[in-house]
Every structure is written in structure tokens, then in C-alpha cells.
Structure 1
């Protein structure tokens, strides 16, 4: 009992010495954390006016390692590339859906955050690139922003392809499409390695692109997105270039399901949406 009491006294004494020692150390006089609000630039104010205020969509263009994959060689976009990229998205995606779907459509159903990345997101297979990612319907990451050329139709189309595709996924998360009917059209040719064939070869199997062979949901999103990216004449030319009649029939069945989905789920005329997107694409190129 005495031994235990002695130990307690020693511990108590050490505690007092520690407190005395600490009291003599220099104490920090101010926080090292910076709570100064960021000074908004002209770009920030433009984003507020065109994205945050009307649609509650934020845009991250400065580097944030917490919202990108750490095992990829990625970097933030050049500042002078940010607004042109956002202008493309607003004109072709937001304005088109707003005109055809109603002024509140994008306000209600939209990602709440865009992450812009300057460089190419090369996949581990070294064959393909990831152009965009949709995370739970709340955030869309867009890559290759530094390479977008507003005066080049192919460049604009490739870039807007990403948002059109990912937005279809967000719509599907809101209201699902008829997966059972879709699965019956080309049931045998889906693949875990979709890029083992070219887009042209995929067309002959009844898929709008090689990537569409990944699974039903990617097939639906690709079909809808690529129809939106092409005029009626361009899409008919694509179908006419396919030599396999069964493949053409499969693509027409998929197109019909997309049109039905937009009509039944959202009361949207899909062909009117396509035409509006085409008109707005031309406006972007001529701006």
C-alpha cells in the first residue's frame, strides 16, 4: 500500500513539473490557419452568374487533390481555358435542356459540382482515356479541358459528348429506363473489354460505339448521347454505313427506347432536344 502511494506521489509531482515547464514555453499568439475569404476574380464572378446563382452548380477549377484520382498524372486546367469550356457546356447542354425540358429542368436534375481537369486521364490499359466521370449524380469530372477548341466542331463534339453521356446517367438515376427490354436487343455481345474492337466493328454488332458494349447502362447513355451529338442527316448516314441489317435494326430499336424514355419519364421530345443541341453547337462554333 505504501509503495502504491509513493508511485502516486511521484506521478503527481511529475505532472506538476510538466505543467510548470509548459507554462514557461512560448505560446502561439495567433492561428496559423488562413481564414481570409478568397478574393473573387472575374472568372469566379462569371461562374456565379452563369452556374451557381441560376442552377446551384459549383465549379472547381483550382487544384484539389481530394476530388481527383491520386494515381493518375492529372493537373488543373489553364485559367484561360476554363470559361470557354464552361460556355460550351452551358450553351449546348444547359440551354438545350432548358429550352425543351423547361426552365426548371436543369435546376431540379443536375450535378451540383463540376471538376475541371486540364490533362488527359489515361486508363491503365494505355489504350483508352477517361473523358469524364459522374459520381453518384452529384459531381461530374471533365478531363482534357486544356485541349478544347471552341472553333473546331470535332473538338467541341468530343468534349460535350462527355457531359451528354454523364447527364444521361444522372437522368437514369432519377428514373430508370426499361432495362429488361433493352437487354433483349443485343444480349450476347457485351464485353468487359469493349475496346478490343473499333467503333466501326461495334456498329456491325448493333452498338453505337465500342464503349457501348460495356453494359446496358453504358449502352443506353452512349446511344442517347451520340444521337444528341449528330444531326438527323448525320445519324441516318451512320446507319446507312452499316452493312449488317440486323445491326441496323438493333440500333433503331435502341433509339426507339431512348425516345420513349425521354417522353415517358420527363415529357421531353428527344428529337426536338437533338435539334436544339445541334443549333446551339453551331452557335458555339460561330460565336
Structure 2
């Protein structure tokens, strides 16, 4: 099952992800953890995926901590999917786009409990006070529903909830490296360290969490400034606004459109000749 967690403000971004999953991975159910939205928006979103499950919750809004709260929201649906549905969970940030078949990733999950993009050299100071906040990229988290994975997800969820209850900052900007991380990313690695001897872990291949938008990658991650790059912008437009997408292509690549339409005319002519 594929899942994401967003509030109403980021729901339009999640819709692009949902549409890409409906196009590229339609047989996989999609679990949307939605915070502070409306029933009207939910009805509209359901049209975009044939196997969409929506969990809608209302949280008290805290402007100062909201970004950190929403980043940390991923832990709840991950645990719920593993415990309730007993099937592999593939968490994707809402700024992701699925560009190809993810069956290969689910096949790899049959051999591992956890797969996350791993950067052992990352030295980023996090809100929890460690310099391990950048070791894992939490944009894509893949878990299979093994006993140890469920225990791991419970510990991860509990650590985040306990930290939120303390009222301490949920995010931190490391001036030395110019990177901001939130507590969910730091705790993902710290909890993994506690389970290292029991958890079957494999680093997630870059093609499943790619912010460089290589044409052969399976999942594109539009994080930070990379989301403004043309390949990602065009890919999003193809789901968000087809009219603007085609107008852009027509202006940028007019010859391609002329060639395409001539090709279609020739094919239609050949079909008519065959029928005759």
C-alpha cells in the first residue's frame, strides 16, 4: 500500500502524487492521511484514484510548530497500515511523483524489513541534539509487515509523540551545512539504531528517491529548489494542468507537434487503405 500524510494546504500537491500512482501503479491501494480538510475536498480527491482510502483527522492548529507536526504526521499512518492491513507500506512525501512501475520495490521488500535512502556521511545537527538528522532521507520509507517492523513503527511513533508532548522545537536549521531537518527524520535513524541487530535493512536505491529527475528513475522527489527544475515542473503539469502542459510543449517544441500530427495522419491513411 502507498501512503502519504498532508494537511489541506498541501492537498493539491498530494493530488499530483495520487494521480501519478493511479497512472503508474493502479493496482496498489493508496492511503491518504489528511489533516484539517473538508468533506467536499475529500469527495473530489476520491475521483483521482480507484483504490483510495482516506483517514481524515482534525488537529488544533499551532502556527509555530505546524511544519514539524505535519512532517511528523507520517508515523501515524505507517503504523496504522502495518497493524491494520498487514501489507507492505510505502510512504511517500507529497512532493513525490511516481514515474514508473514500483513492483520491483515491493518485490525487494519481501527480503527486507526496512528500506530508506541512507547517507552515512551526512553530518546534520537535528532538533533532538544529535548530528544524525541527515543519515536517513525520510521522503520514502518502505516497510514490510513483519513483527519486528511493526515493533519498530510503534517505537518510532511513540518517540515522536513523546517529543511533541514536551513542547520542544520540532525542526532545526543547521547553519554549518545549511540544512533544516525535523524530528521525524532524526528519530527514524535513532530508532533504527536501536533495532539494528534485529531489523533486516537495505539502503533504498536512488532511483526510488531521486531529486535529480533522471529519466530512468522510478520515483522523483521534488524537494527544495529542485522542484523548480523543468523535468519535474513538466511532470507535475501533466497531472495538474494538461492545457498549460500542452501549450508549453507547443511553444517549446513546435516541430515535435507537427511531426506527431503528420505521423497520426499517415497512420490513419494506412488504416483506411487496409480496410479498403
Same structural fold, with TM-score higher than 0.5 when normalized by the shorter chain: no
More helix as a share of residues: 1
More strand as a share of residues: 2
Higher RCO (Cα < 8 Å, 6 or more apart): 2
